[in-house]
Structure 1
Amino acid sequence: MSDASGRARRAVSLLVKLSVSVGLLVLLFRQTDVGAVTGRLRQIDPRWVAVALLAQALLLVVSGWRWRRLLSTQNVHASTLQLTLSCLVANFFNNFLPSNIGGDVMRIADTAPLTGSRTVATAVVLLDRMLGLIALFAVAATGSLLLRHALPGTGYLWVLLVFGAVSATIVVSQPALVPRLLRPLTRVREDWVTERLSRLEDMLARVSGRRAVMVQAFAGALVVQLLGVAFYLCVAYGLHIELPVRDALVIVPVSLVIQLAPVSINGFGVREAVFSYLFARLGHAVDAGLALSIGGAALLILASLPGGLVFLTRRSLMMTPAPSDTP
């Protein structure tokens, strides 16, 4: 009965997200000059498309390198190529599954054999995510200072940045804190949870002793976010949209932050609404914002397709048998 109710909840959640995505897209297309949007998309310059795809490829390489640096804190050694391919596979699943956690599951599965523990592999991926989120807030908050026109709510970006930075500092400097906060979970399965919390504390203790590596990983996270902005700038130029860098530094990160809310299918509809709103607030044509959002999303899906091929053709990125750290 519980399995049936769980499936029902997931089905309802998927239906709600689909309704939000479709509803927002329908609303936007009703209020926008569809002819202008399609006209921009038809005239896209393939040279800028190539540069945008190159920026996305560099983004994946830097992501793989950043992940490698974090794994090195656990004395785990994987090549940047292996981890970049894993990121590519993760991107494929993020784009073709109705949530963004499918890619993280693949990354964890790829590195669990190397870390000797799925708990540690999961914690490293979550730490990687946290650094990426803080870098996202940092780019968006800094970009808001460069705007010609004030945007309502940009002050919250600084609040999120400070909160994220302080939280990360506490987690890294106090390795025992997070396991202690999670201790009540031992009431569910005491031995199993206790063992995992012990591994988590050991993992955080190793990270705490390698703070220079954390700085490098955060620098990598900043580069990743800037490459994400560069990707959209290239798409904009390909669509003959005059988008200033200072505006892109806010539009792209803010849209990514808002897409984190699990209310739509992979951000569809929400992303287009945010682009359209911010373009209008910053004095740009709404159809340009909608065209950029759609064009960028289409290219990201295109760029992720090789990840599906890698997933189907590879035997395994990590040839070591998985450890006995299973639920």
Structure 2
Amino acid sequence: MFSQAMPSSIGGDAYRVITLSKQGHTKLNSFYGVLIDRIMGFLGLIIVIFFGLIISKSILPTDLFQGIIILLTFSFLAVFGVFIFRKLPLPKHKTINWLTELSIQFQKTLNRFDKWYPQILLSILIYIFAIATMYFIALSVGLEQPFYLFVLFVPISLLLTMIPISFAGWGLRETGMVVMFSLVGVPKETILIVSILFGLSLIIVSLPSGYLFLKNKL
């Protein structure tokens, strides 16, 4: 619910930090835990995009294919940068110390197979459900395109929604979907409708959690 009313997923993450801190965890550890969970989700998203790139390589325009490769490369480097940050010979500073501790906690998580494997697997499953939802919405409005296009384009659009410059990723998701699908000949108006309907479906499924939250508060 909170993620639908604040930039990117900031609202939902902030609520998770508050909830964990109320359960006895320190706010700082709660913050690190939520952030690492986001990193794991990000890794799952990279895996899905990579798989989509493999199965749709032959039909993609060269420029689009190269652009996605660059996007994946920078995404992987960002995660790798978090992992090795703790080993960099950097001066002591509040921000640097915070990032170093994040890197240490991330490394501890990766050392535990039972910690990171379920997180990444769950993340992949969530994105698969999102892809399937978008695909069936497209079919419902008469847009029949190969499923593998959705396997590639939907995760990339969802990656764009992580940029905290719009509420719940609105606008970013639509822009990504329109730009990428238009490159393979899909009408912009149709794919825009599909993306909007997908966004509305996210709002609808978040309403029960909003109701339960308000009920507990009243």
Aligned to 2:73: 159
Indicate which of 278, 284, 294 corresponds to 2:180: 278
Q: Distance in 2 between matches of 1:208 and 1:161?
A: 18
The structure 2 residue matched to 1:291, chosen from 162, 186, 193, is 193
Query: Does the 8 A contact of 2:39 with 2:79 survive in 1?
Result: no
Pick closer, same or farther for the CA change 1:221–1:98 going to 2, 3 Å: closer
The amino acid across from 1:246 in the alignment is: Y
Percent identity between the aligned chains? 25
Q: Do structure 1's residue 136 and structure 2's residue 45 form an aligned pair?
A: yes
State whether residues 130 and 168 of structure 1, in contact with CA within 8 Å, keep that contact through their aligned partners in structure 2.
no
Corresponding position: 1:102 with 2:11: yes
- Structure 2 spans left out of the alignment, 5+ residues: none
Q: Which position in structure 2 is the counterpart of 1:18?
A: none
Assess if the C-alpha contact under 8 Å between 2:7 and 2:164 holds in 1: no
Q: Secondary structure at the match of 1:314?
A: helix
Q: Cα 1:186–1:310, aligned 2, differ >3 Å: closer, same or farther?
A: same
Question: Which residue identity does 1:220 align to in structure 2?
Answer: L
Q: Could you tell me how far apart the structure 1 residues matched to 2:39 and 2:93 are?
A: 23
Q: CA deviation at 1:290?
A: 0.9
Question: Shift in Å at residue 103 of structure 1?
Answer: 0.9
**Which range moved further: 239-248 or 154-163?**
154-163
Q: Specify which structure has the bigger relative contact order, considering alpha-carbon pairs within 8 angstroms and separated by 6 or more residues.
A: 1
Farther-moved stretch of structure 1 (162-171 vs 246-255): 162-171
Q: Which letter does structure 1 place at the counterpart of 2:194?
A: L
1:120 to 19, 25, 29: 29
Q: Distance in 1 between the 2:107 and 2:177 partners? A: 41
Of 60, 66, 69, the match for 1:149: 60
Greater Cα radius of gyration, structure 1 or 2: 1
Alignment TM-score, normalising by the size of structure 2: 0.81
Give 1:214 shift: 1.3
Per mean C-alpha deviation after superposition, the further-off stretch among 111-120 and 200-209 is: 200-209
Q: What does residue 308 of structure 1 align with?
A: 210
Query: Whole-Å Cα distance in 1 between the matches of residues 147 and 157 of structure 2?
Result: 15
Aligned alpha-carbon RMSD (Å)? 3.1
Task: Give the Cα separation in 1 of the matches to 2:206 and 2:88.
Answer: 36
- Counterpart pick for 2:162 among 250, 260, 264: 260
Quick one: structure 1 residues 251 and 244, their matched pair in 2 at CA, closer, same or farther if it must change by over 3 Å? same
- AA aligned to 2:164 is P
How far is the alpha carbon of 1:307 from its aligned partner?
1.8
Q: 3-state DSSP class of the match of 1:283?
A: coil
| TM-aligned CA deviation for residue 164 of structure 1 | 4.2
**Per-residue displacement from partner, 1:118-159 (whole Å, max 9, x unpaired)?**
111111100010111122122123212222123251111330
Q: Deviations over 1:291-318 (max 9, x none)?
A: 1011111111111111211111236xxx
- Structure 1 pair 205/248, CA: closer, same or farther in 2 (3 Å)? closer
TM-score (norm. length: structure 1): 0.57
Query: What aligned pairs does 1:1-327 form with structure 2 within 5 A after superposition?
Result: 92-147=1-56, 148-150=59-61, 151-152=64-65, 153-167=67-81, 169-170=83-84, 177=86, 183-185=92-94, 203=105, 207=109, 209-314=111-216
Q: Supply the distance in 2 between the matched residues of 1:275 and 1:202 (Cα, whole angstroms).
A: 36
Give the Cα separation in 2 of the matches to 1:180 and 1:227: 42
Is the contact between residue 120 and residue 203 of structure 1 (CA under 8 Å) also seen in structure 2?
A: no
Supply the distance in 2 between the matched residues of 1:185 and 1:279 (Cα, whole angstroms). Answer: 44
